[in-house]
Structure 1
Amino acid sequence: MARFTAESTSEEVCKDLSSEIKGSKVLMTGVTPGSLGGTAAIQISKFEPALLVLAGRNMRTLQELDEKIKSETPSAPTRLLLLDLSSQESVRRAAEEVNAYPETLDIIINSAGVMASPYTLTKEGLELQFGTNHIGHFLFTNLVLEGFLQQGAPSIRVANVSSLGHKRGPVRFDDPGFQGGKCYDKWQAYGQSKTANMLYSVSLAEKLGDKGVQSFSLYPGRILTGIVKHLSMEDFLKAGWKHADGSVNNSPNLGWKTPTEGAAKLIVSAYDPTISDKNGSYMVNNEVNNSEAAEYALDPQNAERLWSLSEDLVGQKFFS
């Protein structure tokens, strides 16, 4: 019998994994109130982590979540970090701050992201979804890992939040920017970025597994959070998520999850010790399930090709 189920809540998995959470030092991106990351952070804070770093681009929003956490767990050891994943300058500044911490981290949960956004560019001129969801996390995580490994950190686990949406498209290695927007499809661009999250975990496992780094990608389930607030009714109808009257399509075939069930997927991927021998794998419903991944999203050659492309786009090589 599986340790956790698709319906396990963040409260339930935290209780089960309390001994792993206690004393851990974890950094989370994507922790706005009401988000999966925010929900996971609130629950983790209740089980005595040694450090909980809340990373995001808006200090007011971070403070709002921090106040929520402290209202329930006054002793929670939180630390706030300004991090705009769409700006490599901001990413480098944030990584430098983290690497100056007196302690190293045990867990990094990369949960931040944008979804099916109109064609937009990052500050460096990259398509926004690829630049934020993948490149921003790639640069930040690698800079932090580089610093921690130099400091002799014994082990670090990285959980990268992907999506079933990775099946909407592979990485367009020769044209990740969709011809400068001329042939842009927001759903294919989202799929590309989520495929990249999975390939990044494959690469971390391959390149740094023997140095104590573990990485898993995960699908948290289909959930209506703030990440879809910009989508039109037409978008929801095309995706089959809503009916014409605006009501949610509750068909079980869509695999809807509540925010706490989705947050559980992040926590299990970050803390469950029983999956350690499956480094680089894809998690679905709180279990390793690589058969649910598109073949191109776990392919080692694609992972290496993406790593090289990503290094070119940030102008820096890592762990070579």
Structure 2
Amino acid sequence: MGPAAGWTQETTGTEVAEAFKSNIKGKTILITGVSPISLGESTALAIARHGPTKLLLASRTELKMAEVADKIAKINPNVKVELIVVDLSSQTDIRTAARKVFHLTDRLDVLINNAAVVTSARSETLEGIELQFGTNHIGHHLLTSLLTPLLLAGAEASGTRGTTRIVNVSSMGYRLSPIRFHDYNFEGKPIPPEEEPPKGIPAHMKPDVAAGRPYYGFTAYGQSKTANILHAVALKERLSSKGVQAFAVHPGSIWTDLSRNLSDDDRKIIEGTSTFWKNQDQGCATTLAAAFDPDLCDAKEAYLSDCHLVDVAGYAKDQAIAERLWQLSEKLTEGKANL
């Protein structure tokens, strides 16, 4: 029985990284969404203490990444840190960033898809996709597909099946919406009952086309977080036989800079959603468990919360739905996982 058996919602990323330090040492790891006051920062700092060969930090603002890189240098000056500027709402930008990654390394051992956006007002990516779905899922789908050759190289070099990992930072917010295949862009198109928000979601917390409100930010966020889980399910199906594991995680309830684009009303709604608020070190614990716990090498399940595998709603684990989302994602990225 591994150390995770005794871990709870209070477990910190520092503790998890210490427990799995031998699994971190010598690894090349890429983390998206790294900036001050973020889970990306706490994840990177916890990893840096234990001798990874290289940390690739990817985010929109180089100056903010540089602040984190300076902190890493103080913790462990021997870690080589590379900064990759990427806007996950631009597929052109993602391809440019992926090319840079190939110039910086010939393998990846762990890819942590941590970046996210949550917003109250509807917006779109440069390709015209609803922003939260387009950034949180489609952006990471494309980036992961582009970097898969490096992950496969990492798996081959490791010699240990399942230690090469892809980790999608999802959320318990997935419970707010399944994938809306008939209206993923929230344009007011009719959708079947199985694509509606689950029963029990208050009326004021979901779209109402009849009332002239085809968009609601938290429903869109929920869809994107469901997509993160289904992405892991599909990746596991495609890559586990080749030595690459994939997981999605709920980091817990944490106040970070992610909430900066929410309205005051939506902030108040979030305030009432949890009885336990994690600090940033606690918030990265489950991500680190998913990335480095050797007991997960052969795990069939795809979702973790508080460092443990847990079950999810059927619409977030169904293989057929995962495959349908994969096909939609390929369509929205023109089916081209090429640089």
TM-score normalised to structure 2 length: 0.86
The residue aligned with 1:245 is none
Give me the whole-angstrom Cα distance separating, in 2, the residues matched to 1:278 and 1:262.
Answer: 22
The residue aligned with 1:184 is 215
The residue aligned with 2:128 is 125
Q: 1:283 aligns with which of 295, 304, 315?
A: 304
| Residues 245-291 of structure 1: per-residue CA shift (max 9 Å, x gap) | xxxx8xxx53321111111111111111101221451001100112x
Q: 1:306 aligns with which of 325, 329, 333?
A: 325
- Offset at 1:146? 3.3
Conservation of the 8 A alpha-carbon contact between 1:133 and 1:197: yes
The residue aligned with 1:220 is 251
Conservation of the 8 A alpha-carbon contact between 1:169 and 1:191: yes
Give me the whole-angstrom Cα distance separating, in 1, the residues matched to 2:257 and 2:9.
Answer: 22
Give me the whole-angstrom Cα distance separating, in 1, the residues matched to 2:154 and 2:23.
Answer: 22
Q: Is 2:233 aligned against 1:230?
A: no
Conservation of the 8 A alpha-carbon contact between 1:206 and 1:280: no
Between 64-73 and 299-308, the greater mean CA deviation after superposition: 64-73
Q: Is 2:133 aligned against 1:112?
A: no
Give secondary structure in 2 for the equivalent of 1:254.
coil
| Residues 8-58 of structure 1: per-residue CA shift (max 9 Å, x gap) | 111111111110011111100011111111111011111000111111111
Give me the whole-angstrom Cα distance separating, in 2, the residues matched to 1:106 and 1:279.
Answer: 20
Q: Is 2:150 aligned against 1:140?
A: no
Give me the whole-angstrom Cα distance separating, in 2, the residues matched to 1:180 and 1:121.
Answer: 15
- Offset at 1:70? 1.1
Give me the whole-angstrom Cα distance separating, in 1, the residues matched to 2:137 and 2:105.
Answer: 28
Distance verdict in 2 for CA 1:52–1:150, change over 3 Å: closer
Runs of 4+ in 1 over 3 A off after TM superposition: 146-155
Between 180-189 and 256-265, the greater mean CA deviation after superposition: 180-189
Between 97-106 and 174-183, the greater mean CA deviation after superposition: 174-183
Conservation of the 8 A alpha-carbon contact between 2:178 and 2:223: yes
Structure 1 letter corresponding to 2:27: S
The residue aligned with 1:173 is 181
Conservation of the 8 A alpha-carbon contact between 1:158 and 1:215: yes
Give me the whole-angstrom Cα distance separating, in 1, the residues matched to 2:155 and 2:71.
Answer: 34
Identity of aligned residues (%): 41
Give secondary structure in 2 for the equivalent of 1:141.
helix
Q: Is 2:292 aligned against 1:271?
A: yes
Give secondary structure in 2 for the equivalent of 1:227.
helix
Give me the whole-angstrom Cα distance separating, in 1, the residues matched to 2:217 and 2:321.
Answer: 22
| Residues 134-191 of structure 1: per-residue CA shift (max 9 Å, x gap) | 0000000111003543787446310000001000001111211011796111110000
Give me the whole-angstrom Cα distance separating, in 2, the residues matched to 1:151 and 1:124.
Answer: 32
Gaps of at least 5 residues in structure 1 are: 243-248
- Offset at 1:72? 2.5
The residue aligned with 1:31 is 34
The residue aligned with 2:83 is 80
Give secondary structure in 2 for the equivalent of 1:179.
coil
| Residues 212-231 of structure 1: per-residue CA shift (max 9 Å, x gap) | 11000000000111001232
Give secondary structure in 2 for the equivalent of 1:229.
helix
Q: 2:236 aligns with which of 190, 201, 205?
A: 205
Give me the whole-angstrom Cα distance separating, in 2, the residues matched to 1:118 and 1:174.
Answer: 21
Between 67-76 and 80-89, the greater mean CA deviation after superposition: 67-76
- Offset at 1:208? 1.3
Give me the whole-angstrom Cα distance separating, in 2, the residues matched to 1:105 and 1:279.
Answer: 22
Structure 2 letter corresponding to 1:156: T
Q: Is 2:77 aligned against 1:46?
A: no
TM-score normalised to structure 1 length: 0.90
Gaps of at least 5 residues in structure 2 are: 158-162, 190-212
Structure 2 letter corresponding to 1:78: V
The residue aligned with 1:262 is 283
The residue aligned with 2:204 is none
